[in-house]
Structure 1
Amino acid sequence: MENLLTIFDIAGIFVFAVSGALAAIRNGMDLFGIIVLALMPAVGGGTLRDLMLDQPVFWIEGTQTIWIALGAALITFVGARYLDGKRLKWLAWADAIGLSLFCVVGAEKALGVSGSMLVATMMGVVTGVAGGIIRDVICNEIPFVMKRGEIYATAAFFGAGAFCLLVYVGVSGPIALWLAMLGAFLMRAGGIVKGWTLPQALH
């Protein structure tokens, strides 16, 4: 379980950093801007979660997180020329993977700290979406989570809630992590590929 959480965490940090770097490149930022923006989604959600749970901030306890994000930023900087014209598409998918991984990692940590399924679900959503919000605001763009009808925070809520529910009914931790992550990813993928949206109030 601990090893799987570490893998999920590293993978989430990497792909979210890639999403930040791609957003920076799309907005014409230099290398410093790319590095800074890569760090925002990689550590932003987890930082807010840890502060709200009154826990040591994860990237201060272990700086390997920063190195992973820096590595992802540099790889994206070098490889961006090969993604010309497809950066928005790659950004959306990197963001979807990061969202799916972080919402369950955040829920697992919060569940262990608080023991509350509701708190854990909310912290899973915070972990999954807060960093992307920071990234998009810095780029002066409407965050994914605020776009009308966008399946985004809903996917994080589903993944975090599903993890808590699966653990509650006795599903083993690793299986719960995989199933919840996959559910969140498929829901977000449906929004990207099929244009799934939430229902809106009638006027």
Structure 2
Amino acid sequence: MKWRKYSYLGVYASRLEKKRMRRKKIILWGFIVVDILIGIYVGIFDLVNTEQIIKGRITPKEELIIEEGFVTSWKYVYRTGGKHRKSEEYFSIGLDNGKIYKIYSYGIKAFEQEKFEALGMGSFVTLLVDENKGYEGRERIEVAEISSGDTYFLKYEDYIYQKQQEKKFLSKIKWLSAILVPLALVWWPLIFIFIVWKQKRKGHYTKKKFYLKD
């Protein structure tokens, strides 16, 4: 009787262990599938976003908004990316109308910052503001030109040149980026799947050899 009792307990414990292992496998494979789906989504999103920038219509000079006023503040900001935020770079200019205007990435490359800062606070400036209405899904208001009288700190032509350079660069790397960005998320599940597949394949060949010996 005791032997049977221990036998039943052993079978029951074995079944429990199998259920636990099955549950762990389901959770693991579920997590892997979700991770791969997220990676695919990120890749598609990145490709669509890049395509929108490439095909985006650059705003003609006559459609830019003219803003004028006296300079009340300025600030250069550069932040590297982190876990919960993207990297960002911009130069902000405050005018006496209470508004803050920003120059972003490619505008900064053509912006003569030192020359502007030498002009001093309280100087009267004219800004041409781009609302980027020709870019689907990219609603960003930025400065396209800055001048004070006959002095230019950022010319519209230089701003446009930088935008065109960005389009050319993104056209070259869009497919590479669409592949590498999701791979950064799904590399470990793919390696895990490859290892599991190799182990099963190895086990299959071992069984085959064993049967051949018999």
TM-score by length of structure 1 reads 0.22
More helix by share: 1
More strand by share: 2
| Larger Rg over CA atoms | 2
